Amino acid sequence: MKINDKIYCKDVGGYSSQLTKRESYIIKEINDANVRIQNNEGRLRWYSKFYFSLNNEPEIISINIDDTIENIESDAIEVTITFSDKAKYWMTFTTPKYLDKMLDEESYFSSKHFIIIKSLTEESIKLTVLKLDEQNELIENCKKYE
């Protein structure tokens, strides 16, 4: 990284009002650990190099709800997420009521690749996927299609 390089935000951390994931920024100043850029608020600020990369990460191009939502309060819905590099991942959304129902039938419930949300609507599922992506928690909560 050097002055005037275009860098891409890979993590907004605690700066969600100042930085946008995958947005490009121009380095105005640089030192061993930090870069100074003009942020979303139009201010020149120092940020750790950790938040940036010279390469842009793939973007989400689609969030597909694979199942029909029959009960917004107690269902399990599989979702496929496709990225601009053609990688596909899946995860399952469910609700606390579904979890209660499963625990009535079994003594345990494995939560790998499950995201629990209050109610299953297309909007709440998509907003949750985008929020997980913004917080860099999406991929760790998904399973990649092979």
Query: pTM here?
Result: 0.74
Quick check: 119 pLDDT over 90? no
The three-class DSSP label of residue 50 is: helix
Of the candidates 24, 74, 95, 82, the residue with the CA atom closest to the CA atom of residue 54: 24
Q: How close are the terminal C-alpha atoms of the chain, in Å?
A: 34
Tokens (6 digits) for 6: 């275009």
Element (H, E) at 131: helix 122-134
Phi, psi of 11 (to 5 degrees): -160, 130
Quick check: 29 pLDDT over 90? yes
Quick check: 36 pLDDT over 90? yes
User: Are the CB atoms for 19 and 47 separated by under 8 Å?
Assistant: yes
Quick check: 118 pLDDT over 80? yes
